[in-house]
A and B are shown apart, each in its own frame.
Chain A
Amino acid sequence: MLKIFSSFFVFMILAYPQSALSADIAAGEARYKETCINCHGPAGKGAGSFPKVSGKEISYTTDKLEAYRKGIKQGSNSFLMFPMAKPLTDEEIANLAAYLEGAKYNVE
Chain B
Amino acid sequence: MKSISSNLFSGIMASALIVAMPFAAKADGHDGAMDVPKITSEVVLQGLENPWDMAFLPDGTMFFTEKCKGLSVRTTDGSVNALYGVKGSSGYADSGDDLFCEAQAGMLGVVPDRHFDKNRVLYVYSSSTKYRGDGCKTNFEKCDGNIVMRFKVSDDLKSVSERTDIVTDIQYKPFPSDQPFGDPGAHNGGRLRVGPGGYLWVAGGDRHRGICPQDPKLLCGKVLRVDMDGNAHPDNNPPEGFDKRIYTYGHRNVQGIDFRPSDGKAFTAEHGPWHNDEITALVNGGNAGWDPAQNTGGRGECPDQYCGYEPNQTESMDPAIRAAYTPMSDTRFEDLMPATWNNNGYSQGTGSAAFLKGDNWGIYEGRLAVGIMGIGFSGTPAGSRIDMISITPDGLGINGIVRMPLGFSKRFRGLVMGPDNALYVSVDAGEIYRITAESLQ
**Interface residues in chain A, defined as those with a beta carbon under 8 Å from any beta carbon in chain B:** 35, 38-39, 41-42, 45, 47-50, 76-77, 79-80, 83, 105, 107-108
* Residue of chain A at shortest CB distance from B413: A48
List 20 A-B residue pairs with CB atoms under 8 Å apart, sorted by A's residue number. Answer: A38-B374, A38-B376, A38-B382, A41-B428, A42-B410, A47-B411, A47-B429, A48-B50, A49-B104, A76-B182, A77-B181, A79-B313, A79-B314, A83-B316, A83-B377, A83-B378, A105-B429, A105-B430, A108-B2, A108-B408
Q: Is the pair B411, A48 in contact by a Cβ cutoff of 8 Å?
A: yes
Say yes or no for B138: interface residue by CB 8 A criterion. no
Task: Tell which of A50, A107, A108 has the most Cβ of chain B within 10 Å.
Answer: A107
List of A residues within 8 angstroms of B316 by Cβ: 83
A107 partner, pick from B43, B180, B378, beta carbons under 8 A = B43
Which of chain B's residues have a CB closer than 8 A to the CB of A35? 376, 382
Q: Are B46 and A107 in contact (CB under 8 A)?
A: yes
State which of A38, A42, A79, A107 has its C-beta within 8 Å of the C-beta of B375: A38
In contact, A38 and B428 (Cβ under 8 angstroms): no
- With contacts A38-B382, A108-B2 known, is A47 near B50, CB below 8 A? yes
Which residue of B is nearest A79, CB measured?
B314
Chain B residues closer than 8 Å to A105, beta-carbon distance? 429-430
- Residues of A close to B50: CB separation below 8 A: 47-48
Q: Which residues of A contact B46 (CB under 8 A)?
A: 107
B383 adjacent to chain A (CB < 8 Å):
yes
A-B contact count (CB 8 A): 56
Give per-residue flags for B255-283: 1 if the beta carbon is below 8 A from chain A beta carbons, else 0: 00000000000000000000000000000
A49-B181 contact given A79-B314, A107-B43, A107-B46, CB 8 Å threshold: yes
Assembled-state Cα–Cα distance A99/B314 (Å): 29
Closest to A39 in B: B375
Which of chain A's residues has its CB closest to B47's CB? A107
Q: Does more than half of chain B's interface fall in helix, strand or loop, or is it mixed?
A: loop
Report the nearest A residue to B176, measured CB to CB: A76
Question: B95: CB under 8 A from chain A?
Answer: no
Alpha-carbon separation in the docked complex, A32 to B316 (Å): 22
- Interfacial chain A residues near B2, Cβ < 8 Å: 108
Q: Please judge, given known A-B contacts A45-B429, A48-B411, A107-B431, whether A76 and B104 are in contact too, CB under 8 Å.
A: no
What's the minimum C-beta distance from B177 to chain A, rounded to whole angstroms?
Answer: 9
Interface bits B158-190 vs A (CB < 8 Å: 1, else 0): 000000000000000000100011110000000
Q: How far is the CA of A91 from the CA of B316 in the complex (A)?
A: 27
CB distance from B111 to the nearest CB of A (A): 22
Tell me which residues across on chain B come within 8 A of A45, comparing CB atoms. 429-430
Any A CB within 8 A of the CB of B384: yes
Nearest opposing residue in chain A for B43, CB measure: A107
A40 to chain B, nearest CB (A): 10
Residues of A within 8 A of B324 (CB): none
Judge if B21 is at the interface, Cβ distance under 8 Å: no
Evaluate contact between B180 and A41: CB separation under 8 angstroms.
no
The answer to whether A76 and B429 have CB atoms under 8 Å apart is no
Give Cα distance in the complex from A49 to B182, angstroms: 10
Query: Please, how many angstroms separate the alpha-carbon atoms of A108 and B433 in the complex?
Result: 11
The 8 lowest CB-CB distance pairs between A and B, nearest first, are: A47-B428, A79-B314, A38-B382, A107-B46, A38-B376, A39-B375, A38-B375, A49-B181
Residue among B103, B316, B377, B408 having the largest count of chain A Cβ atoms under 10 Å: B377
In the complex, per-residue mask of B372-398: 1 if CB is within 8 Å of any chain A CB, else 0:
001111100011100000000000000
On whether the beta carbons of B428 and A80 are closer than 8 Å, the reply is no
Q: A38-B375, A80-B377 are in contact. Are A48 and B429 (CB under 8 A)?
A: no
7 more contacts with CB within 8 A, not counting A48-B104, A49-B181, are A38-B376, A47-B411, A49-B103, A76-B183, A77-B182, A80-B375, A107-B46
Residues of A within 8 Å of B315, CB to CB, are 79
Residues on B with C-beta less than 8 A from A42 are 410, 429
Give Cα distance in the complex from A77 to B430, angstroms: 23
* B48 CB, min distance to chain A CBs, angstroms: 11
Q: Are B103's CB and A38's CB within 8 A?
A: no
CB-nearest residue of chain A to B313: A79
> Contacting B383 at CB < 8 Å: which of A38, A48, A77?
A38
